[in-house]
Chains A and B, each alone.
Chain A
């Protein structure tokens, strides 16, 4: 099985702070991580290779710093890593991102394209299905279990109230959720190899067979026209001190609002 795993380097959103004046992200000091769902995709790809043989290739699109994420993926056990980086990709929405990634994927032999369900910075879950459509291959999203039977996969797809069992032939695109597995930590040897024996190869827009007008901001049908911080403040009445009195005050207020 040749498996392509798409990973994204993201700021750890638990640590993200917003500048109250400029309404932009404060990126300084915010750790970057491999997007969590993508790590589940990578883990599963490595497990499949361990079982049936083949090759795991990781691809990431992003600024040059994203090399760190690819090195971590190599340390976990990926065989090869490619960084898709170019100013021409900047400002891409999910459509233009999927366009660039599909053009890169077309340069490889693959049976499975494995992505995370969604990235924690955008939470859109769109890029996977958009790539599957561009490549004209079937997709299964929200994958929580994968079994290989020759060139067929038996996949469990999570639903809100259960799951579906789906049979699909390769080539196929899958998106992973965290219920799929527990990603491994890189071994010391893995880390050594990732930095000393393996390389991260660079692909730019010139390496892809695509019109540059279809990439980045220019190739994006959607435009962000405004950003703001959510305003959720209420003029709260806060009770402190004696608990019994505080509770009685609260119950009286709730009762007069007819909510209890």
Chain B
């Protein structure tokens, strides 16, 4: 157990571009490593991606472990799982963090099972306890409960971390670090899935996680047409449209707009919740926003408890006046 040290992150890249969540967990890993006085390792897997090492070092990595192989040019569960498992057996990290993306959530449990260690999913908080163990906090039961979890007897301690929750690391191009190239002995027979194609879907790309202003609609907007006025307010503010689970489940809007425990976690500077009652499952996705405004006709709606400002009133009457007043300002 004492052979295990350093805090690693899985530096997920797609098409040679680092995922935002990789920079977020790198920032978090840096904090944890400084608390323990150990190094931060970043694991970079792919083909012809070594150029990203420089970025990872600037964002806080001390060591970048590169596994480069043409068989790894696209993500496959088994190829990546072998690369990281072999690296972990060789270099023995104490902690490995992964972004909880559709890839991270496919990969991390496969590795945890192979390394016979624990894994905590979708963490929203990480810390080190008095004995140096990783404290992993995550929502459970639809965000109704927060659980803090430890992995005392197995190594590495592993977590996936929700995108959008941790703050991005700050870039410092003067930082130094080293790059270790590792041959994980990946063979074609290791990978039993064959990717025939990767298709990008041309939906209106809703980038909730990076928006500065989000205007969200809930059940109170009454129907799919209710999103017209939400969109109008978002446009005036230069923001994007979010939605509660109820509206997505009802088919009023597509799920890429969904904010909450089962949707996206967001932390915009301004979040305006319109006709959203404030179920815990929704709050779990937006309560870290800078300023929260609630517009709801029910004065007892729980959303007012998490809001900095609230207007009790019919959103169809309030929002047009709000749009008018904002236009005056601009």
Contacts and interface: CB of A to CB of B under 8 A. Distances in A.
State which size class the interface on A falls in.
35 or more
A239 B312 contact: yes
Given A158-B102, A238-B310, A221 B154 contact: yes
B321 interface: yes
A202 B112 CA distance: 29
Contacts, number: 252
- Please classify the interface of chain A as helix (H, G, I), strand (E, B), loop, or mixed, using the class held by over half of its residues: mixed
Given A16-B141, A162-B199, A222 B150 contact: yes
B163 to A, nearest CB: 9
A129 B113 contact: yes
B266 interface: no
Given A129-B110, A230-B139, A251-B325, A166 B194 contact: yes
Interface string B179-202: 000000000000011111111110
Interface in B84-139: 101-103, 105-110, 112-114, 116-122, 135, 139
B229 interface: no
A196 interface: no
B317 A243 contact: yes
A148 interface: no
B156 to A, nearest CB: 11
A227 B307 CA distance: 24
A236 B308 contact: yes
Interface in A154-213: 154, 157-169
Contact of A130 (B113, B140, B195): B113
Contacts of A134: 113
Interface string A81-96: 0000000000001110
A130 to B, nearest CB: 4
Contacts of B192: 137-138, 168-169
B293 to A, nearest CB: 7
B290 A233 contact: no
B55 interface: no
Nearest to B140: A122
B270 to A, nearest CB: 4
Nearest to A17: B144
B284 A230 contact: yes
Given A141-B106, A251-B322, A254-B293, A167 B77 contact: no
Contacts of A255: 329
Given A23-B145, A167-B193, A226-B147, A123 B121 contact: yes
B200 A160 contact: no
Interface string B154-176: 10000000000000000000000
A132 interface: yes
A183 to B, nearest CB: 15
A244 B194 contact: no
Contact of A126 (B103, B109, B139): B109
Contacts of B109: 94, 124-130, 133
Given A227-B146, A237-B310, A13 B151 contact: no
A224 B197 contact: no
B198 A253 contact: no
Nearest to A237: B309
A21 interface: no
B150 A164 contact: no
Contact of A162 (B77, B154, B200, B237): B200
B142 A13 contact: yes
Contacts of A52: none
A94 to B, nearest CB: 7
Interface string A1-38: 00000000001011011100001010000000000000
28 contacts: A13-B141, A14-B142, A95-B113, A123-B122, A123-B261, A123-B262, A126-B105, A126-B109, A129-B109, A133-B109, A133-B114, A138-B77, A138-B192, A157-B102, A160-B101, A162-B199, A165-B198, A168-B194, A222-B149, A224-B148, A233-B305, A236-B294, A236-B308, A238-B311, A246-B311, A250-B293, A251-B322, A260-B270
Given A238-B310, A257-B291, 12 more contacts: A94-B119, A122-B121, A164-B198, A221-B118, A230-B146, A230-B284, A246-B313, A247-B321, A250-B309, A253-B309, A259-B270, A259-B290
**8 closest cross-chain pairs (CB), A and B:** A221-B118, A13-B142, A133-B113, A124-B121, A222-B118, A232-B287, A129-B109, A126-B109
